[in-house]
């Protein structure tokens, strides 16, 4: 079994690259959080970033860790999440994608990512990206072996304003190829909620730039939704509980659309 020190990048006392919450959850849902933390391996210092940049949206999906745990509890689902900053390695990008370890994000330079050597990128992938995706793949394989169905919910959050443009949506459901029934049914359920502005492939359109859903859902024909929640709705416990309740109700009713 691989230990953290085998990766060469993470010390034994640093967070594991994959965290599991409610692993025994018994419903068809599996929740993932690719950007649920902003940890930086000690060996990489602070990536050359200010504290402000290490804690703003470019580093992670604010609120997703807490929302993921609330939603997983409500849905009786496991929540597999990743605690390292996406500026170290973005687990929703192919490791070969130019944005996998961006040198520039929302106007901030990431000095430690400028002219990143291939070996340095490989070390980050081996320490964080690969074990995280292996854990998801293993979990899905064991569910298939046990003939347990899975609906994959990939949870993200987005900043309320980008490039000076306000984003009106409270929540977005992203979908592209594969089995989109669950995504479309949850869009319909959320759209029926009063006073909720729902984005259909907003604020982002899902495409091949995404990595997690294509890799884990398409190949095995899993119903899925990629979810984006606006970060100002997740700043306190009351907001997180409200979002979790709304999403839980929508996914639970949408589940009927895929017959699971
Ligand atoms: Zn994200």
φ, ψ dihedrals at 198, nearest 5°? -110, 130
Res 257: pLDDT: 85
227 Cα distance to chain centroid: 9
**Entry pTM:** 0.96
State the total domains in the chain: 1
What's the average model confidence in pLDDT over 68-86? 98
pLDDT category at 208 given cuts 50, 70, 90 is confident
Domain that holds residue 145: 4-258
What's the 35 CA to ligand 1 centre distance in angstroms? 5
Q: What's the pLDDT tens digit per position in 83-132?
A: 999 999 999 999 999 999 999 999 999 999 999 999 999 999 999 999 99
What's the 64 CA to ligand 1 centre distance in angstroms? 8
| Cis? peptide before 203, omega within 30° of 0 | yes
150 Cα distance to chain centroid: 17
Residue 147 has pLDDT above 50, yes or no: yes
What's the 141 CA to ligand 1 centre distance in angstroms? 24
What's the 1 CA to ligand 1 centre distance in angstroms? 29
CATH of the domain at 106: 3.40.630.40
The mean pLDDT of the chain is 95
26 Rama class: left (phi>0) / alpha (psi -120 to 50) / beta:
alpha
User: Whole-angstrom Cα distance, residue 92 to residue 217?
Assistant: 13
Q: Cβ of 117: how many Cβ atoms within 10 Å?
A: 8
Q: What's the pLDDT tens digit per position in 18-67?
A: 999 999 999 999 999 999 999 999 999 999 999 999 999 999 999 999 99
What's the 70 CA to ligand 1 centre distance in angstroms? 17
What's the 123 CA to ligand 1 centre distance in angstroms? 22
Residue 2 has pLDDT above 60, yes or no: no
What's the 221 CA to ligand 1 centre distance in angstroms? 22
Residue 4 has pLDDT above 70, yes or no: no
What's the 89 CA to ligand 1 centre distance in angstroms? 12
User: Whole-angstrom Cα distance, residue 18 to residue 84?
Assistant: 9
Q: Which two tokens stand for residue 11?
A: 């010390």
What's the average model confidence in pLDDT over 193-222? 95
User: Whole-angstrom Cα distance, residue 105 to residue 58?
Assistant: 6
């Amino acid at each position: 079994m691989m230990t953290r020190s085998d990766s060469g990048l993470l010390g034994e006392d640093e967070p594991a690259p994959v965290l599991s919450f409610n692993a025994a959850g018994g419903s068809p849902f599996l929740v993932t959080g690719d950007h649920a933390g902003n940890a930086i391996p000690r060996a990489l210092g602070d990536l050359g970033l200010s504290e402000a940049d290490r804690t703003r949206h470019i580093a992670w999906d604010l609120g997703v860790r807490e929302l993921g745990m609330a939603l997983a509890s409500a849905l009786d689902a496991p929540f597999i999440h990743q605690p390292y900053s996406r500026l170290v390695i973005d687990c929703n990008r192919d490791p070969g994608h130019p944005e996998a370890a961006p040198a520039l994000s929302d106007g901030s330079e990431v000095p430690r990512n400028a002219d990143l050597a291939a070996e340095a990128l490989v070390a980050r992938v081996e320490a964080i990206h690969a074990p995280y995706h292996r854990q998801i793949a293993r979990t899905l394989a064991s569910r298939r072996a046990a003939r347990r169905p899975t609906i994959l919910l990939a949870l993200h959050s987005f900043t309320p304003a980008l490039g000076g443009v306000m984003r009106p949506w409270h929540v977005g459901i992203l979908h592209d190829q594969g089995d989109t029934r669950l995504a479309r049914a949850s869009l319909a359920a959320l759209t029926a909620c009063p006073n909720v502005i729902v984005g259909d492939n907003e604020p982002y359109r899902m495409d091949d730039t995404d990595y997690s859903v294509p890799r884990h859902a398409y190949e095995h024909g899993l119903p899925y939704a990629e979810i984006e929640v606006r970060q100002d709705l997740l700043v306190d416990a009351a907001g997180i509980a409200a979002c979790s309740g709304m999403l839980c109700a929508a996914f639970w009713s949408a589940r009927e659309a895929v017959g699971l």
